[in-house]
Amino acid sequence: MTETAIIAGLDTQRLSRIAEHLERAYITPGRLPGALTLVARRGEIAYLHAQGLMDVERKKPVQTDTLFRVYSMTKPVTSIALMQLYEQGRFLLDDPVYKYIPAWKDLRVYKSGVHPNFITVPCERPMTIRDLLTHQSGLTYGFMNRTNVDAAYRELKLDGNSGLTLERLVDELSRLPLEFSPGTAWNYSVATDICGYLVQLLSGMSLEYYFAEHVFKPLNMQDTFFTVPADKLDRFAACYQYVPGDQFTLQDDPQHSHFARRHGYLSGGGGLVSSISDYHRFAQALANGGELDGARIIGRKTLEFMRLNHLPDNADLPSVSVGGFSETPYDGSGFGLGFSVKTDIAKSQTIGSVGEYGWGGMAGTAFFIDPVEDLVVIFMTQLIPSSAYLVRQELRALVQGALVD
């Protein structure tokens, strides 16, 4: 029997179960096209494995440098960017949003009716920047398909169609009611796109340029962008749509994707394409308390504050959420400034540590950081929706089962 190698306190033989499980349960049966998984501990990569296809139609295998649509894994980047400006005294978290977006001064809350004939009531208090960062703003997403408010988002095409700009989004939202009064509930929403708009407003830079100068260049992230450059298009994965019956169909061909051409909508909520090594550099900087290789992107105390549970009375998501969708399981998880935060291990029904934080993306990508174990895990695939399978939960069990010290 071969001797097990231990890297950074992780049993590599046990880590190899990740590939075996994904192959057996998802890739061979045709449930997922392919996957790329990275596990790092104490700043050292212990496991990096590519399997399956990044482009089924062209029979191209997943590579370690494949480019993925990370969708809502853009949100932590935007939240860090906004909090960089907080560290410079540009705003306070309890500042009303209308201080920076005057058209939002008289936002109201939905009571009844359908667009454009809504009956509304005043907000109990103004929406704050903290409400945006914690998804307690009262905003929503059109894809929720839950209320007459999100129906208006769909009608107005506010979820990122080709003609949308951040300016138009902000303008349209000034005339739509909120789902609830800010601070009274939690609902996943376009709030992080508004955070991206505030980054532009406060910095005087486009979101694309701000990210490049203040996050990507300091961390030497050369493969993260809103638009995939032509010379990197051959590394861009195809994206697939789940079909009932554990199958999938092509959703976005990389050669014809809107991610492959410049467009006007810089979505801080879901617009980035990245590689696993780039996103690892971002996540590792967070795991290190805000810096990597001598480049600091956020202060240690600021990050500690961001990864606290900011829901009222330390509540978890089931007790305050009004929607049915999130990129994290609800039970045992709260929410910080841009991340989900694990608050109760037993309630979550998944192995981990209190304080674990992270997020995921619509096409199944996910990352989490466990500060107790000094652990970073990143999973990349391209299947919409992310809720099709419980791979993320299985991955946690597989990784935690490999810890030996």
Has residue 147 been placed in a domain? yes
Asked which of 174, 203, 232 is the last residue of a domain, the reply is 203
* Domain at 388, CATH number: 3.40.710.10
Residues 186 and 289 in one domain: no
Per-residue pLDDT of 142-193, as tens digits, reads 999 999 999 999 999 998 777 899 999 999 999 999 999 999 999 999 999 9
Per-residue pLDDT of 245-304, as tens digits, reads 999 999 999 999 999 999 889 999 999 999 999 999 999 999 999 999 999 999 999 999
Residues 190 and 283 in one domain: no
Residues 184 and 55 in one domain: no
Has residue 96 been placed in a domain? no
How many separate domains does the chain show? 2
Has residue 91 been placed in a domain? no
Separation between Cα atoms, residue 107 and residue 104, nearest integer Å: 6
Residues 177 and 241 in one domain: no
Residues 32 and 175 in one domain: no
Separation between Cα atoms, residue 366 and residue 386, nearest integer Å: 9
Residues 67 and 111 in one domain: no
Residues 24 and 114 in one domain: no
Query: Under 8 Å CB-to-CB from 345, ≥6 apart: which residues?
Result: 332, 351, 352, 353, 354
Residues 323 and 392 in one domain: yes
Residues 275 and 176 in one domain: no
pLDDT at 324: 75
| 402 pLDDT tier (thresholds 50, 70, 90) | very high
For residues 142 and 150, the answer to whether their CB atoms sit within 8 Å is yes
**Largest distance between two CA atoms of the chain:** 72
Residues 260 and 163 in one domain: no
For residue 227, give its domain range. 6-82+206-400
Residues 49 and 110 in one domain: no
Per-residue pLDDT of 376-389, as tens digits, reads 999 999 999 999 99
Asked which of 137, 168, 203 is the last residue of a domain, the reply is 203
The residue-averaged pLDDT of 105-129 equals 98
Question: Which spans in 164-321 are helix H?
Answer: 166-173, 191-203, 207-211, 276-287, 300-306, 317-320
Residues 111 and 26 in one domain: no
The residue-averaged pLDDT of 213-241 equals 98
DSSP notation for 63-89: -TT-EEE-GGGHHHHHHHHHHHHHHTT
